[in-house]
Amino acid sequence: MARCDLTVRGGGILGLSCAWEAARRGARVRLIETVAIGAGASGGLVGALAPHVPDEWNPKKQFQLESLLMMEGWWAEVEQVSGLTAGYGRTGRLQPLAGAAAVELARRREESAVALWQGRADWRVVAATGAAWEPAAASGYLVRDTLTARVQPRLALGALAKAIAARGGEVVIGAAADQGPVIWATGMAGLDDLSVAMGKSVGSGVKGQALSLRYPAAELPQVQLDGLHIVPHADGTVAVGSTSERYWDDGAGVDGGLDALLATARAALPVLAGAEVVDRWAAVRPRAASRSPLLGEWPGRPGHFVANGGFKIGFGVAPRVAQVMVDLVLEGRDKIPAGFRVQG
């Protein structure tokens, strides 16, 4: 390959998305992943692309909204260029409402969603119907939104890697030299490196466990109750995630916490009672101290940039992260929200 315009380090969702965005704009890009595509937090099972609640608006919610609204076209192009499916589908979400206060709050959000989501998706309070694929709602009502989507993480990473190569980019697994400016999208290792370089903690990890069931629900909406996500995928599996653990011995180990999560999922949707468990998985999510994505120049290291801090919404924000990072690195346009910058 002729000299690269840009190197991206890290073959997770943020690194692959940045490399793809650069390649689709015609740049010569080299992506270097030391272990394997999806070796970190991205190589999992869940893939919920779920918005935050439409009220108490802030730059993170706005950024995430922009990302979710561009998803459909983004994944369609990746699928078309790669010839592979990413498992994207805007299938919506159901959230049961516990009581009268929750229903009242949800109705207020119905109104704020109209303005905040720019009429491009709905957040509606709907009456329970008793359908098999519907969680029990003590109030008799649920929220149904039409913004939530899903992608199948491992398929999505594979499609991105192939699309980068199809646009003339290089995807290297192992060691290779950096050329040009470097985007460090190296997940937990990157957060640790940045903390050492800056002499202070810029973030830490939060372990998560998830599993996959065989159950045909491909086009049905995902179900969310507090931290529980039940996400039907196009391949006839349903992902159930995720635990949230601040302390652990083995970041990739699965344990009884996952059994408890499965029991909660089966209580919420009894149709899943007999569904076979086909996969169990765990990883450590990179969480910035600010809890927002951590984007922009690496302070004190000219030519080096950071794309990190995906935490629980790395897949949800990836397309917009890629846009603002490539704008900055290749075009010198800085559209990164103030609260997302790496503070020197």
Ligand X SMILES: Cc1cc2nc3c(=O)[nH]c(=O)nc-3n(C[C@H](O)[C@H](O)[C@H](O)COP(=O)(O)OP(=O)(O)OC[C@H]3O[C@@H](n4cnc5c(N)ncnc54)[C@H](O)[C@@H]3O)c2cc1C
Site string for ligand X, 108-137 (x = CB under 6 A): ------------------------------
CB of 200 to ligand X, least distance (A): 20
Answer yes or no whether residue 92 interacts with ligand X by CB under 6 A.
no
Answer yes or no whether residue 44 interacts with ligand X by CB under 6 A.
yes
Tokens of residue 131, six digits: 């359908």
Tokens of residue 342, six digits: 């790496």
With CB under 6 A as the contact rule, the residue among 40, 158, 181, 319 that binds ligand X is: 40
CB of 43 to ligand X, least distance (A): 7
Tokens of residue 199, six digits: 């002499």
Answer yes or no whether residue 15 interacts with ligand X by CB under 6 A.
yes
Positions 47 through 76 that interact with ligand X (CB under 6 A): 47-48
Q: Rank residues 150 and 167 by Cβ distance to ligand X and give the closer one.
A: 150
Answer yes or no whether residue 186 interacts with ligand X by CB under 6 A.
yes
| CA within 13 Å, CB half, 14 | 31
Answer yes or no whether residue 238 interacts with ligand X by CB under 6 A.
no
Answer yes or no whether residue 155 interacts with ligand X by CB under 6 A.
no
Positions 244 through 303 that interact with ligand X (CB under 6 A): 283, 285-286
| CA within 13 Å, CB half, 312 | 18
CB of 241 to ligand X, least distance (A): 5
Tokens of residue 121, six digits: 């998706």
How far is it, in rounded angstroms, from Cα 215 to Cα 325?
38
Could you check whether the bond before residue 242 is cis, i.e. omega within 30 degrees of 0? yes
Cα-to-chain-centroid distance, residue 135: 24
Tokens of residue 215, six digits: 């159950």
Q: How many residues bind ligand X (CB under 6 A)?
A: 40
Answer yes or no whether residue 308 interacts with ligand X by CB under 6 A.
yes
Tokens of residue 48, six digits: 């919920």
- CA proximity to 227, closest of 214, 217, 240, 211: 240
Answer yes or no whether residue 336 interacts with ligand X by CB under 6 A.
no
CB of 36 to ligand X, least distance (A): 7
- CA proximity to 306, closest of 201, 184, 181: 184
| CA within 13 Å, CB half, 338 | 1
Answer yes or no whether residue 12 interacts with ligand X by CB under 6 A.
yes
Binding positions for ligand X, rule: CB under 6 A: 9-15, 32-35, 39-42, 44, 46-48, 185-187, 189, 208-210, 229, 241-242, 283, 285-286, 308, 310-316
